Structure formats: C-alpha cells, structure tokens
Amino acid sequence: MSSIQVISTIIVLLAGLVCYAFISQTLRIKKEQRERLMAMLKRRNNTFKFMLNGFPKGFLPKELTLLVQRSLIETCEQLTKLDSSNPTYQQDLQVVSGQMTETQRQSGPQPQKRLDNQQQVKEVKMCLEELYRFIHNQQQKNLLPKNQADAFSAQIKQLVLQITVDSYVLRGVAAQQSEKYKLAYHYYDLAIKLLVREGKAGANDERIAELKALLPPLAVKMAEEEGTTPLSEQEMAEQTEMDNEWDKFGEKEDFWKKKHAYD
C-alpha cells in the first residue's frame, strides 16, 4: 500500500471518528434535553394535580378552575406526545377533559365554600400560593394578558381573605369550646376587622353580621369572670402568629422569582 493510500485511509478513519463523535454528542444532548423536558413536565403535571385535588369542590371560582384544568390538559398532551407508551397521561387527559366540560357548564356564581378545619386551611393556602405564583409566571412570560392576570390575582386575594377569616373563626370556636372566652372574642374580632378592612364593600355584610352576633354573649362571659386567667406563652405566640397571618401571603419580594415546575 502506497503512502498516499495509507494517508487517505487514515483521513477517512479520522473523518469517520469525528462524524461518530459528533452524532453521538448530538444524540446525547437531545436525550438529556428530552429527559429535562420530561422531568419538568412531570413536576408541572404533579403541581396542577395537587392544585385541583387540594381545593375543596366548589371553592375556586369558575375562571380559576378552568385556568388550572386547561393548564393540566396542555401538560398531559405534551407528556403523551413525549411518552406515548405510558397510558397514565392519556388517562389523566381524559379525566381532566371531562372535569373541564363539567366546569364549563356551570352558570352563575357558586355559594361561598367555608373551610372546616385548620389542616384544610393550610393545604388550600399552599394551593393558592402555587396558583398565584403560576399566574405571575405566565404574565412575566407574556403568556397571560396583564388585565387577565390582575383579575385572577384579585380573585385569589379574596380567597386568601376568606380562608384567613375561616382560620380565625375556627380558632375562635376552639377557644370558646375550651371556655377561653377572651381569646375567642379576640379571634372573632380579628375576623370582623379583616373583613371590614380588606373585603369588597357590601360583599361580606352577612358574614360580618354573623360574627358580630357572637361577640355580646362572649362579652357577658368575660364580665362574669372576675379573675380572667392570663394567656399562656403558647397561646400568646399563637395569637401573634394569627395576627400576622394576612400579611404573610406573598410578603417577600422574591417569593415569585423562585424556580418552580412551570418555569
């Protein structure tokens, strides 16, 4: 074999190796990108399912329910395309599509859904924070018009007001059942003041009147107790925490900047 043939063979082999390395690297990058996309979509899918399952039936307004359902459907569609061998995503898609059809049939405002235990309050608050964060994220990416995002955010703020009041009332009921009338009075009064200060004009008149009716009997009980037992340290800490509950929602400036499933 002549030197020219040897050199030609070496060049061909090197070219083949370079092409193989390039193709191999390209395939590896595409595989990694697909895996990252799948992981992100799975997290997003779990987040939206968490929201839908975390809210009691009828708690969210129709518009917000449709927003979550539509977002979950889009995520399931993407997962189905990327992993058609997994029947779970197609099943989820069918279930949520049926739920969305049912939601679209609703007409008129739904009666306000009150929460009946503190664990439910905690879970719903977490879901509302996730939903608020998602809306903010969509607006930042220009995927949601500002006026629509503002309307959704206003609805969420009213829901946070509602669950904060529910939490105060639940604590008031618990205190009253434990014959801690001063503490019960404090929680009911907190709920009334919050509704008056933050609620829409006229929207909560019935609830305010209902809560105000609870105060006179408690005032009588308090007057009957000549030596009211002072609050324990735990009760004082709990009271301070509840006093600040409303201000905690989204108080940190970087709260909405953290990376999440829909980023």
DSSP 204-262: THHHHHHHHTTHHHHHHHHHH-SSPPPPPHHHHHHHHHHHTHHHHTT-STTGGGS--TT
Amino acid at 157: K
| Burial label, 68 (beta-carbon count in 10 A; 0-12, 13-18, 19+) | buried
> So what's the pLDDT on residue 223?
80
> So what's the pLDDT on residue 257?
46
Q: What are the residues whose beta carbons fall under 8 Å from the beta carbon of 108, sequence distance 6 or more? A: none
Output the 3-class SS for 158-220.
HHHHHHHHHHHHHHHHHHHHCCCHHHHHHHHHHHHHHHHHHCCCCCCHHHHHHHHCCHHHHHH
- Please list the pLDDT of the chain residue by residue as tens digits (263 residues): 566 666 667 676 666 666 766 676 666 667 777 778 888 888 888 888 888 888 888 899 999 999 999 999 999 999 998 888 888 888 999 999 999 999 998 887 777 888 989 999 999 999 999 999 999 999 998 989 999 999 999 999 999 999 999 999 999 999 999 988 888 999 999 999 999 988 777 778 899 999 999 999 988 888 876 555 555 555 555 555 655 655 665 454 444 445 555 55
Residue found by looking up tokens 């609830």 in the block:
207
> So what's the pLDDT on residue 253?
41
Query: In residues, how long is the chain?
Result: 263
- Nearest Cα neighbor of 184 from 228, 148, 149, 153 is 228
Residue found by looking up tokens 């050199």 in the block:
7
> So what's the pLDDT on residue 72?
92
Task: Report pLDDT digits (tens) over 102-117.
Answer: 999 888 777 788 898 9
